[in-house]
Amino acid sequence: MRLKTLATLLSGFALSGLLLGAGALAPVQSAEAAAQQPSSKKSVRKAKPAPRSPRKAALVEAAAKPTFGQLYGLHAVDDPLDLKSSVALVLDQDTNEVLFSKNSQAVLPIASITKLMTALVVVEAGLSLDEQLTISDEDKDTEKGTGSRLAIGTTLSRGELLHLALMASENRAASALGRNYPGGPTAFVAAMNQKAQSLGMTDTHYVEPTGLSSRNQSSAKDLAALVKVAHEFPLLREFSTSKDHQVMVGKRQMAFHSTNGLVRSSSWDIGLQKTGFINEAGRCLVMQAKLAGRKLIMVFLDSTGKYSRIGDAERVRKWLSTQPSTAADSGVGG
């Protein structure tokens, strides 16, 4: 089914309480609960079930929820490379020539790909990278309830927080960067959206700097524009492609590692990258890389499976290596 048809069918619906980004389709139903475990026939007496912690129950329920892409039916769209991502875009960085496209106009949650815009706004503001910033209670994740290795009270430089946000996708680091922007978090989010508009990212909308909110949404074509601009900054290239980094937290040295295993692969020449994941978004990945003698921008959204976004990138790399002189838009789904 074509996306335009889907948009027509679903335009009258909206996910309760959800503020959609421009151009987004609205899920028509909530996630179904996980299937109940079959009861054991060998039980002699009825035992009172063990109490289940609210946190564990919430995590199980969250894991059972389909992604927005699944709700929209985007995974039903076939593509020649059999990608596990429901959205994909590969284009030539220099010429903007599209080599591969799949549902590239679809607007979806982008998870921690958000942090690429967070970093861009910080570096363009010219704020001191040496200024010491302290993680506070305001940086706790109230959206998903996740933890962090950066304890409340941790003090690091703005540059170190920027490094950890890009390389290790540290949520509290990204939150602290936004909170310490002139005018605070509200001004920072406004600057993120203003920058998106200036880049022509008309499908993009941000509500916070970490990507934990599913209301941070964009399309593959918009994210390709973001990657292209972010790649112009040497600091963002360096920090996003670091394999690991150590910082002093109090008197203790802590090691952080990249969330993208491809930066360690000799088969890849990656100039800039960012990963992302929340349940609503699936596994996401954006990269600038040199492949088949060309500088390419690659976007993969809503991939199913822990390693599937990496697998999709490898599928594209192998496909390009077999036809280095061929550049054809697959034309799949937009």
The residues annotated as belonging to the active site are 112, 115, 169
Residue at token pair 């993009």: 204
Closest CA to 267 of 209, 314, 216, 214: 314
The Cα 117–Cα 102 span in angstroms is: 23
Q: Give dist(CA 145, CA 85) in Å, integer.
A: 26
Of 98, 83, 112, 80, which Cα lies nearest the Cα of 212?
A: 112
What's the sign of the alpha-carbon dihedral 77, 78, 81, 82? positive
| Other Cβ atoms within 10 Å of 239 Cβ, number | 21
215 close to 21: Cβ distance less than 8 angstroms: yes
Cα 5 off chain centre by: 27
CA angle 120, 142, 16 (to 5 degrees): 95
Tokens of 307: 């390693």
Given the structure tokens 């996630």, which residue do they identify? 31
Residue 217 three-state SS: strand
d(CA 60, CA 65): 9
Report how far residue 218's alpha carbon sits from residue 276's, in angstroms, rounded to the nearest whole number.
13
- Helix, strand, coil percentages (3-state) for the chain, rounded to 5, are 35, 20, 45
Tokens representing 71 are 């709700």
Show the tokens assigned to 270: 């990656």
N-terminal to C-terminal alpha carbon distance within the chain: 12
